């Protein structure tokens, strides 16, 4: 069985199932991993989004891409993830996120 990795930028390749979320910060992204570590990446969320979509990731906000495997609950405009992380949901993307989450499960 071949294990798939995703290139996040430069020489950094990760297993998508270990990546909880990505947080955008101008021209950089901060990757949050399952083991509690963080990695700053010199790649924008715009470039990362198509690479991760096939692995169950969804862009909930202009500043966040989340892994649906780690979603615990939804609030009015916040997604609560495992490991005490959370991400905002934009009003325009909330309905499509809920549908994507429903189809994913």
Q: Is residue 14 part of a domain?
A: yes
Q: What average pLDDT does the segment 64-82 reach? A: 94
**Which residues span the domain enclosing 58?**
6-104
Q: Is residue 1 part of a domain?
A: no
**pLDDT at 2 (0 to 100):** 55
Q: What average pLDDT does the segment 84-105 reach? A: 90
This prediction has a pTM of: 0.90
Q: Is residue 61 part of a domain?
A: yes
Nearest to 24 by CA among 42, 7, 36: 42
Q: Is residue 46 part of a domain?
A: yes
**pLDDT at 11 (0 to 100):** 87
The number of folded domains in the chain is: 1
CATH number of the domain encompassing residue 59: 2.40.50.1020
- Cα dihedral 45, 55, 50, 75 in deg (nearest 10): -50
Q: Is residue 38 part of a domain?
A: yes
Q: Is residue 63 part of a domain?
A: yes
Q: What does pLDDT average to over the chain?
A: 92
């Amino acid at each position: 069985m071949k294990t798939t990795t995703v290139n996040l930028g430069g020489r950094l390749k990760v297993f998508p199932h270990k990546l909880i979320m990505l947080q955008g910060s101008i021209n950089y992204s901060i990757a949050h991993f399952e083991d509690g570590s963080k990695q700053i990446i010199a790649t924008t969320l715009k470039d990362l989004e198509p690479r991760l979509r096939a692995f169950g990731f969804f862009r909930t906000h202009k500043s966040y891409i989340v892994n649906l495997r780690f979603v615990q609950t939804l609030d009015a405009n916040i997604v609560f993830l495992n490991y005490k992380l959370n991400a905002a949901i934009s009003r325009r993307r909330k309905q499509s996120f809920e549908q994507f989450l429903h189809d994913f499960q």
